[in-house]
Amino acid sequence: MPKYVIERSIPGAGDLSREQLQGISQTSCGVRAGMGPQIQWLHSYVTGDKIYCLYIAPDEASIREHASRGGFPADSVAEVKGIIDPTTAE
């Protein structure tokens, strides 16, 4: 199943408290559970004003539906076409 990187603009994301991030996570997991096992949240990176999430889903429409149901922004959704790291150079 495809992987997607989702860019979410959330002003002040890097300053959110642990409790606020926990609440966001709980909302996301609740929405995801209601959508069934075809969509999986792997992890997210929190930066100053954005959160970048990595999901497995059947298609972009599922990612956007999750965002809509949860009230999350999904500024961009990009399918991962490959993964590279330092070992790719070898």
List, for residues 44-90, the tens digit of each pLDDT value: 999 999 999 999 999 999 999 999 999 999 999 999 999 999 999 99
Query: What is the per-residue pLDDT across 13-25, written as a single tens digit (0 to 9) for each?
Result: 999 999 999 999 9
Q: Residue 59 corresponds to which tokens in the numbers above?
A: 């298609």
Question: Which pTM value belongs to this model?
Answer: 0.91
What's the pLDDT at 51?
97
CA distance linking residue 74 with residue 6, whole number of Å: 6
Q: Any idea which fold 3-82 has?
A: Alpha-Beta Plaits (3.30.70)
Domain chopping of the chain, boundaries: 3-82
Query: Is the distance from CB of 55 to CB of 4 less than 8 angstroms?
Result: yes
**Residue 15: strand, helix, or coil:** helix
CA distance linking residue 32 with residue 26, whole number of Å: 10
User: For residue 1, what pLDDT band results from cuts at 50, 70 and 90?
Assistant: very high
Q: Residue 64 corresponds to which tokens in the numbers above?
A: 């956007």
